[in-house]
Amino acid sequence: MSADALRIALVGNPNCGKTALFNLLTGGRQKVANYAGVTIERKEGRFLAPSGRLLQILDLPGAYSFDAVSPDEQITRDVLLGNYPGEAAPDLIVCVADATNLRLHLRFVLEVRRLGRPVVLALNMMDAARRRGIEIDVPELSRRLGLPVVETIAVKRGGAQALVERVDGELPVPAPAQADDAASRADLHAQVRELLAATVRMPRRTAELDDAFDRWALHPVFGLVILALVMFLVFQAVYSLGKPMTDLISDGFGWMGAHLAVWLPQGPLRGLLTDGIFTGLGTVLGFLPEILVLFLFILTLEESGYLPRAAFLLDRLMVSVGLTGRSFIPLLSSFACAIPGIMGTRSITDPRDRLATILVAPLMTCSARLPVYALLIGAFIPAHSVVGVFNLQGLVLFALYAAGILGAMAVGWVMKRIRRDQGEHALLMELPSYRLPKARDVGIGLYERGMIFLKRLTGVILALTVLMWALSTFPAPPLGATEPAIDYSFAGHLGHWLAHPFSPIGFNWQMSLALIPAFAARETAVAALATVYAVGGDAGQLAPALAAHVSLASALSLLVWFAYAPQCMSTLAVIKRETGTWRNVVVSFGYQFVMAYAASFLVYHAARTLA
């Protein structure tokens, strides 16, 4: 037994069941990070083979060909060639192919074989192949390929037994390396046909189940109805499962902070603990339930094969505003919260389309804007009925949601025209067979998303929350102060100062001040306004106070500001984390600031003129 672990790379076409196989082999023992210098997920796991040897498995991104068209495929190619900085070439390549889709997948197997490295072919989904009546002469396929071939069923316990035994044995003798040029590349299809003719017998081309499902799921009318129903269900779940848990977490930390405070002397330390750290933790961890519920659905839809169908239905619409069909689900998630939305853009392999989606995602009206909208609408918009049926308050809320969507479309449209890369970016999207999602794969995916959020973001967001607390607490008010404490703090000074640039859009200094904590989390704007107007936090007291001090035009301006404003800092932290550069954070913040200011300016002056 050698001291070093055997390094195995898992490769294959997208949708070959490679990740399910990886999960089966490694269980929860996985390390998820990024490849050096890019934000593409690097998943590695290890397990002990029966011989006692340690096997280290790298799950490479799915690829159709070494003639790479996406950063994912480049990484797969470069790692296999041993050209990727910081990644050693694998000792053994396990090439995974879907046994029900060999025409497509065998071509990539042939490309991998030409590398001239030790390769084992894993024929995955053998159970599905048998069910469909596909017969594969495995010994003959192995003989013709000159590679060991094993059968696997990634969705069954023990389904990787044959593979484990094979990789635990002697390294297979590599096929002779071959040059990769256009002529030999064109020849690969002919070889695939020959192999299929000699080793595979199949009764029917596609699964009848897929045909039946797609007839409904992709129907021009029913397809859209089904999509709307699925989305409705997801949102119901986010609000009925995620939201109460979020509130519970926020309240729980508030309660814990308050009880801990009893043991501490009155002073800055107590304030830091209760108002800074515990409130901050409550806010940050409060995102978690919504993120997990959303990803539960996204992962389930992805595993089942429905997600690309949704992208198919809406691609044309999204393209017209500079996005892609695959942008739809991340943008929809952003209506709950932009953080899972932006994290969800990883399913978009094209970097340009992915960045465009990330940049417009914060314009979707997230759930944190609702308390602010509810307060301002309640205080300023009368509950008149319009044309007998509509409620004016409801109409204003609808208009704010519409403003977000229209704004995103406008930004996408403008980006499409000004970006440097005007080339044609392909859709070329495979619609995989429908599958029943496996609890293990969804569970591992959820755990990974949750950990990414907790490990990489909590620190940043918590630090910023504490900073916001410090700004609104220090310096303490002088003895005998008559105004609310926040008025004497840095935030108070900042609010007074901000009132100058914000006065053209109708904000007084109290409103300007409330923007500072709102940057940490939008919903805190309500609490901040309550503090500066020195009234209780509930809308019952705050709404009349606001109505007495703020004009209708200013209130409308503030509403529009919240529809477009560059917020919140958690979102900006995710943009940094998911795109790897501050430049995109600056672009996102900058364009939203300009957009919010311009829109508020227009609304404020229009309202003043009309009033």
Partner 1 sequence: MRLTDLPKGALAVVDRVDDAHADDAIAQRLRDLGFVDGEAVRVVACAPLGADPLLIQIGFTRFALRRAEAARVSVHPEAA
Residues that bind partner 1 (CB under 8 A): 64-65, 67, 69, 100-104, 107, 185-186, 189, 205-206, 210, 214, 218-221, 223-224, 308, 311-317, 319, 325, 424, 426-431
- Nearer Cβ to partner 1 (106/294): 106
- Nearer Cβ to partner 1 (326/577): 326
- Nearer Cβ to partner 1 (107/354): 107
- Nearer Cβ to partner 1 (314/569): 314
Q: How far is 162 from 599, CA to CA, in rounded Å?
A: 63
Cβ contacts of residue 164 below 8 Å, gap of 6+?
25, 49, 50
Map residue 387 onto helix, strand or coil. coil
The minimum distance between CB 225 and partner 1, in angstroms, equals 11
> Interhelix angle for 539-549 vs 370-380, to 10°?
60
Phi, psi (degrees; rounded to nearest 5) at 201:
-120, 130
- Nearer Cβ to partner 1 (216/390): 216
Which residue reads 């999509």 in tokens?
227
The minimum distance between CB 419 and partner 1, in angstroms, equals 18
- Nearer Cβ to partner 1 (224/399): 224
Cβ contacts of residue 455 below 8 Å, gap of 6+?
none
Direct distance between the N- and C-terminal alpha carbons of the chain, in angstroms, rounded to an integer: 85
Dmax (CA) of the chain: 94
Q: How many CB atoms lie within 10 A of CB 35?
A: 20
The minimum distance between CB 156 and partner 1, in angstroms, equals 22
The minimum distance between CB 202 and partner 1, in angstroms, equals 8
Map residue 121 onto helix, strand or coil. strand
- Nearer Cβ to partner 1 (192/361): 192
DSSP 160: T
C-alpha distances out from residue 367 to 191, 290, 373, Å: 55, 10, 10
Phi, psi (degrees; rounded to nearest 5) at 572:
-65, -35
Q: Do 525 and 515 contact (CB within 8 A), yes or no?
A: yes
The minimum distance between CB 323 and partner 1, in angstroms, equals 13
- Nearer Cβ to partner 1 (81/598): 81
The minimum distance between CB 315 and partner 1, in angstroms, equals 5
The minimum distance between CB 152 and partner 1, in angstroms, equals 18
Map residue 96 onto helix, strand or coil. strand
Length of the chain measured in residues: 611
The minimum distance between CB 205 and partner 1, in angstroms, equals 6
DSSP 7: E
